[in-house]
Amino acid sequence: MDQSSGQPPHGSSKPSSVLPRKTPNVKAHYRIGKKLGQGQFGTTYLCVDAATGREYACKSIPKRKLLCREDYEDVWREIQIMHHLSEHPNVVRIKGTYEDPVFVHLVMELCAGGELFDRIIQRGHYSERKAAQLIKTIAGVVEACHSLGVMHRDLKPENFLFASTDEDAALKATDFGLSVFYKPGDTFSDVVGSPYYVAPEVLRKYYGPEADVWSAGVILYILLSGVPPFWAETEAGIFKEILQGHIDFESEPWPCISDSAKDLIRNMLNKNPKKRFTAHQVLCHPWIVDDKVAPDRPLDSAVLSRLKQFSAMNKLKKMALKAIPSPNSYSKLVIAESLSEEEIGGLKELFNMIDTDNSGTITFDELKDGLRRVGSELMESEIQALMNAADIDNSGTIDYGEFLAATLHVNKLERDENLVSAFSFFDKDGSGYITVDELSQACREFGLDDVHLDDMIKEIDQNNVCAGLVMINFLDMIQISFPLHSCSLHVFDL
């Protein structure tokens, strides 16, 4: 596949840099502030232009996580794509890029208005017409991407942010880390995306830009009903539902939703990508074009309630099930830290054996030496990949909790007694309830400052017991209401 000019030269060896030319230190131009969020490959901070005082977002990617030439090219491609789309009013604008020996920094427009679902929940009044306006924006971004030869590949509500808290603030697409350039006729086989939103042809490992329209169709279904069209208690179950492709228009609130909206969803979620609507066809659909077609009457309050629950539970699971994507399993940090010595078995001894300086953390060199002492023949690049997968907080070392999360099998972690222990992590005073104060403390510990705790309590505490969460509701939330593994995925086999 052709790449735009300016890319670091090709070759078999790992490059020394991501950017094609040397840059000043980012701190010479910006004051780096509080952490705004953390993803698998980087951390985003608030930053302030030292010259103008204007606020931006700075995404810092540790170069130690870039294991090979392809990883360097992936970051460079993300930068190129953001520049490529920078003039679109509904795409987060990149202001500059910087590189030092440790990090690559992307300084971007700051979107302080919050995520898509959060804004809907805050505003209260919500109708088909409002949903049509939002999908018009999302489909417009998809059309712009495709017209410029870009496939996003990870469209989901979390990747759409409002520019500000103003009522008329623009909705903007962000996170192009999985995006690729393509030419007409190109197909892809790498399975990327997020479970609820991934298209069936992606699971079959033969897909093109039509997959983006499918993801937008899933977002539309959720906007109108509050729940995803394809879900189950496991990722494998979700994928099975996606491949079957049955869309439920019988349950509430669908009998009250306009036929035009359902027609658009059917065309966006057509299992056959050749028959699926293009982004341009979405934008030309009467439900999008004609204000009189999409009703402005408020949707059933249950839709907003389910949307609140969907958003709140996913955010709470970020704390309860701090996930580490890996090729074979999805381990959970908080739950792993609560397992018994018997369940952990020899893992503590193994950790202590590898941690030769007894510092309580494992460095790359210690991990490499420890694996070789137990007869491992992994290459250094493979050991580095293990290190990066386990190092949740990007500290450069693996602590005990991270080590357990990276080594315990997911089936062990899904047992009810371990979920009970995870509940106890939040229940600081052992009262049997999780209070707002306890949730607030957990949010601070995990850097989730954007969580609306009152909404979370109202939606999860269905019994309204002392403004706390009873145990059974917590287990329902984690195990039943939504699939256990809701984190982004990069590679999986069916």
Contact predicate 269/262, CB 8 Å = no
The pair of three-digit structure tokens given for residue 250, joined into one six-digit string: 């019988």
Distance CA 357, CA 311 (A): 43
Model-level pTM?
0.68
Is 154 annotated as catalytic? yes
Give me the pLDDT at residue 331, please. Answer: 31
Question: CA angle, 206 as apex, 201 and 207 as ends, to 5°?
Answer: 65
Q: Which residues pair with 44 in a beta bridge?
A: 37, 59
Q: Which of 118, 154, 399, 427 is catalytic?
A: 154
Give me the pLDDT at residue 202, please. Answer: 94
Distance CA 387, CA 383 (A): 6
Three-class SS state of 192: coil
Contact predicate 58/45, CB 8 Å = yes
Distance CA 441, CA 142 (A): 39
Closest CA to 265 of 252, 251, 246: 246
The pair of three-digit structure tokens given for residue 352, joined into one six-digit string: 């202590």
- Please indicate if the annotation marks 458 as binding a ligand: no
Digit-coded pLDDT (tens) for 2-41: 333 334 444 456 788 999 899 999 999 999 999 887 766 7
Is the Cα torsion angle 107, 110, 111, 112 positive or negative in sign? positive
Point out the residues of the chain with pLDDT beneath 50: 1-11, 319-339, 342-343, 409-416, 462, 465-472, 475-494
Give me the pLDDT at residue 328, please. Answer: 30
Digit-coded pLDDT (tens) for 32-43: 999 887 766 788
DSSP H or E segment with residue 436: helix 436-446
